[in-house]
Structure 1
């Protein structure tokens, strides 16, 4: 009860990511998962993780735009209102039946809900009272279709509820899974028009020929005109219909245009449809339709982009098509408005989520170029979401968080201020999202570095971040290969790290048994580089830039390094190897002080190293009697060593001589770490 264990900081995209939502004003991106988590990404490398009390998949995710709230619906039909400022659920409402359609009325706190029984409801969130209310405005299925000639019993669940653009939420489109489409006027409480059911003739988008159709099941829909005059509908059989939604289109022959992405008999359902108006043309003169699905079963996964031309519904036609190859299995996609230099939304950018947890961005310029060349299949280089703390690309192998004591960080702060400018310039700003999640900029111009986060990677690279604030800020990257260090094995996987804030030095060990030591400097100058082996030492003069400068590479044993630990205020470095040996390195003379086996004859890997100054050290020696009072004040620095097979050894940290050893009575499990409690 006293420990509220929860994740307070999380970096990266969860591997179970399944859907995305976007706040176009605050420029916030939300990513829902299959296990009850929501990742919110904002500007300044700010990332926040929202964790639901129940680890259930989300099936709907939508922002209350520019209000700081996110609406999420779980698979158990719990409607959650997340307060983004406080990172918690403000309120929730358990819906009694299965929710099959959901939509937020843009610019308001109103929400539309459709259920499996064909009923339509309206919700309203009250931020001041933190309440989610179900309003009396509820329309059962028999009222909705009372003005049509369709039997109530043929209507099934609502699959889509879309407010019509330009009507301020007064008119909304309600679609049923059996193909019925109703445009409802909420202010007048009446049906404006009906589409999609018992229609007899449609036009083929490619040939303009009239063809017969029967009712079919709807799987997706979107507005295909910015003024709400055309509706795009995807069906389970792979067809796409573009419906004329103007009230004066009474002639059934001119109400719909059919599009087919494949002529195969078995096609994928049209899972997702999105529309982007052509910003360079007047309203209603065409745009692009983004589609996932509709292709033949078994074909390569692509997103299809159709460039549609329309000077009037009768002239609606497809003028070009591009199939965009995906970088992984499809999870979700959406269009987000791009912002030009004046701050206006000038075009749309395609954002694609693929499994496991990868985000890709395709800008409007790239997509427009593809459509103009009419390339049938294209593999376009997308801008991948670059994680501030990469975990899998490259693969992280070891990481460590170090606190920096006050008064010792002036050099580190100087290095951080210089290095982060270069990193920011190199990273670019295409993925920049504004947001309200706290970052360094939120707290003003604070230069003090209070903690650093370090990570080593499989490719031999190393990264260090300023971890003073929740949003980590990258300070520098060391690549696995360094032209100044011509040593075999230097780019092997990093296996151990440590940092000393007193000397501004850090060390890394790798799988080839090499130890690299660096010193952080605020200026570029010539430095001495030492290459130390078990038999000789070479010294070279090299010129290194601002930031981390390599001071030495130690190659003492050809055994993977398990742990590193700076000691004696950074003047020594203890190294534990997989073969069971421990080396003590002198950081002033860059020499090997001693190399010793922890336990005679033992080959078990070294797990932990801790230095301690002890009084009455002779009390540790096995079978030795209490020393005389004249020796009671003897002090000595010893090194506590833990091996994987649960051996604890104590050695003299100056000479490496054994002081004491103890075998824990635990033969079936492996030791993980050693801590000394107390003074």
Structure 2
């Protein structure tokens, strides 16, 4: 370490520039800008020296680390263990294990309103705000096929384990698509269901407000396949695609409030029961979200614009021969607040009990609370082991969010046999923050009597941290391609190289295949990326391949030795590969000089001031 003088005190004299002076041992490197930057990482075209044209200067980002700041929607493949994150500007980040990240770029910078994997197929389906359906090839990292839909798509669902997709539009039509992997095309099949066929009347759809809000697939029992069709105006239909008929129709006319109870305390039985009514003047309850609350399709949780949550018991009614004759009598309404004006229920997700998946579990709710209240994610623990009519709320937790809510998704634990064995949680918040809560964390939350929590979740393990800690200066350095010094730096960095481990043993993202470039026979280090941080630390990555790997993490302090100003923010740095020397300067004028020697049993430390030099063996 170098200090200006013996009486050095931290002061506002920032080190703004550091530069090693080349010696005779170093060889001058002459390159073009295109040669200095790896075309595989930054998208430059490889062209001979001196023949660069305007067409060749087309830089584009092909590799991106971390969560995009405009992230807005999540999707998860439970078999491949991959997470997809869609953004508001037409990008999709796909994340796997061992620092594997892929970036998919759409030709139009538009938000995605639907995003879903074709599970275990190597494809990802998306729907843009301009109603363009896209199927992405994950291996090739490009759009395999796209299809422009003429009307506004309001519902989209991939049939589990297949290449088939349901599409619902603003006119109430339900269409079936198929992605043909061999031809690389999205095909529209002749099977479609018009709204008047579903409802049995031509006059039902009297305005554009009556459109499909959500669609999902329920495989009731083989070979019968039912598709759930839900309209924004409150109509719920189970349609048998093999028999071309509705087996159940439910709507707002099936509801009439008997009493008012609010889910405010887990020590009370808080629900509303409804009885049958055929009053045609019944006020519409507009649907804003829904999810299955059982694995057999018996219970459906529906969120409404007015803040209510209804649990519909569909199993008994669906088995009835008369689809309109038997009205549901075991519906339950939940309210998160007793005030009149409440937020719409935007998101609903269900996690069933591991051993009794159809008799209770946890309902994750965003919305439904008082307008203007603190932004939280509510987790309700519900039990109806004695029947849905005797439903009990045995626990409630309001999880305080870090940033504004963007999306959430429940993921099954690795090795889970049943899809309903889902107990880990990803929460996406703005700007670009991804938080993970594993099952043990959620269990601890539900076991405490307090109602509101703000707990430290596991954040996404960024390859290059930029915020925590905060990055202040960085450089991409080229390593000399020839000579003994080049071999020395490669051996030193490869010796120290380590893989950034997952933050916890339950981290659910393990999929993906590492880049083949990482296994090249020529494992020489060609580039290093060096970053200095606000806490005084420095990190070094091997930047030879598109997937960077951490090699060194250097703290600002030396154990057992106190030097004033060592924790100050890094303001300048430089690296000289010929001598493996690293210089780091901070905002208080302190300069640290390191020589990288790989793994060693001992390290030497020299403190140099104007008047003395002290050497220590650490």
TM superposition score normalised by structure 1: 0.74
Within 5 Å, give how 1:359-398 maps onto structure 2.
Answer: 359-398=434-473
Query: Take 2:525 and 2:84, find their aligned partners in 1: how far apart are those partners?
Result: 30
Deviations 1:325-376 (A, max 9, x none): 1111111001011115999995420110011000111111221232233432
Alignment-derived partner of residue 110 in structure 1: 164
Pick the aligned partner of 1:87 from 126, 141, 144.
141
Pick the aligned partner of 1:56 from 110, 129, 143.
110
Q: Structure 1 pair 413/425, CA: closer, same or farther in 2 (3 Å)?
A: farther
Alignment-derived partner of residue 377 in structure 2: 303
CA RMSD of aligned residues (A): 2.7
Pick the aligned partner of 2:584 from 504, 508, 518.
508
Deviations 1:560-592 (A, max 9, x none): xxxxxxxxxxxxxxxxxxxxxxxxxxxxxxxxx
Q: Structure 1 pair 209/75, CA: closer, same or farther in 2 (3 Å)?
A: closer
Partner SS state of residue 289, structure 1: strand
Kept in 1, the 8 Å contact 2:309–2:335? The answer is yes
Question: Is it true that 1:201 corresponds to 2:256 in the alignment?
Answer: yes
Question: Is it true that 1:325 corresponds to 2:394 in the alignment?
Answer: no
- TM-superposed deviation, 1:455: 0.7
Deviations 1:90-115 (A, max 9, x none): 11111111111111111111111111
Alignment-derived partner of residue 642 in structure 1: none
Within 5 Å, give how 1:213-232 maps onto structure 2.
Answer: 214-232=283-301
Q: Structure 1 pair 170/456, CA: closer, same or farther in 2 (3 Å)?
A: same
Alignment-derived partner of residue 347 in structure 2: 272
Pick the aligned partner of 1:185 from 208, 223, 240.
240
Deviations 1:196-243 (A, max 9, x none): 331133576725554787430000011110111111100000000011
Partner SS state of residue 80, structure 1: strand
Kept in 2, the 8 Å contact 1:528–1:539? The answer is no
Query: Take 1:128 and 1:466, find their aligned partners in 2: how far apart are those partners?
Result: 38
Q: Rg: which structure is higher?
A: 1
Q: Structure 1 pair 214/426, CA: closer, same or farther in 2 (3 Å)?
A: closer
Query: Take 1:293 and 1:197, find their aligned partners in 2: how far apart are those partners?
Result: 21
Greater relative contact order structure (CA < 8 Å, 6+ sep)? 2
Deviations 1:508-557 (A, max 9, x none): 22222222111112343555533344x434222131xxxxxxxxxxxxxx
Kept in 1, the 8 Å contact 2:353–2:421? The answer is no
Unaligned runs of 5+ in 1: 544-679
Alignment-derived partner of residue 651 in structure 1: none
Question: Is it true that 1:493 corresponds to 2:569 in the alignment?
Answer: yes
Deviations 1:49-91 (A, max 9, x none): 1111111111111111111111111111111111111111111
Q: Which has the higher strand share?
A: 1
Query: Take 1:505 and 1:443, find their aligned partners in 2: how far apart are those partners?
Result: 27
Question: Is it true that 1:529 corresponds to 2:605 in the alignment?
Answer: yes
Query: Take 1:485 and 1:10, find their aligned partners in 2: how far apart are those partners?
Result: 39
Partner SS state of residue 133, structure 2: strand
Q: Structure 1 pair 427/162, CA: closer, same or farther in 2 (3 Å)?
A: closer
- TM-superposed deviation, 1:380: 2.5
Query: Take 1:227 and 1:87, find their aligned partners in 2: how far apart are those partners?
Result: 36
Kept in 2, the 8 Å contact 1:323–1:378? The answer is yes
Pick the aligned partner of 2:307 from 238, 241, 266.
238
Unaligned runs of 5+ in 2: 1-54, 262-268
Deviations 1:380-413 (A, max 9, x none): 3211112110112222122122233355455545
Partner SS state of residue 391, structure 1: coil
Alignment-derived partner of residue 525 in structure 2: 449
Question: Is it true that 1:18 corresponds to 2:72 in the alignment?
Answer: yes
Larger deviation, residues 239-248 vs 397-406: 397-406
Query: Take 2:502 and 2:496, find their aligned partners in 1: how far apart are those partners?
Result: 11
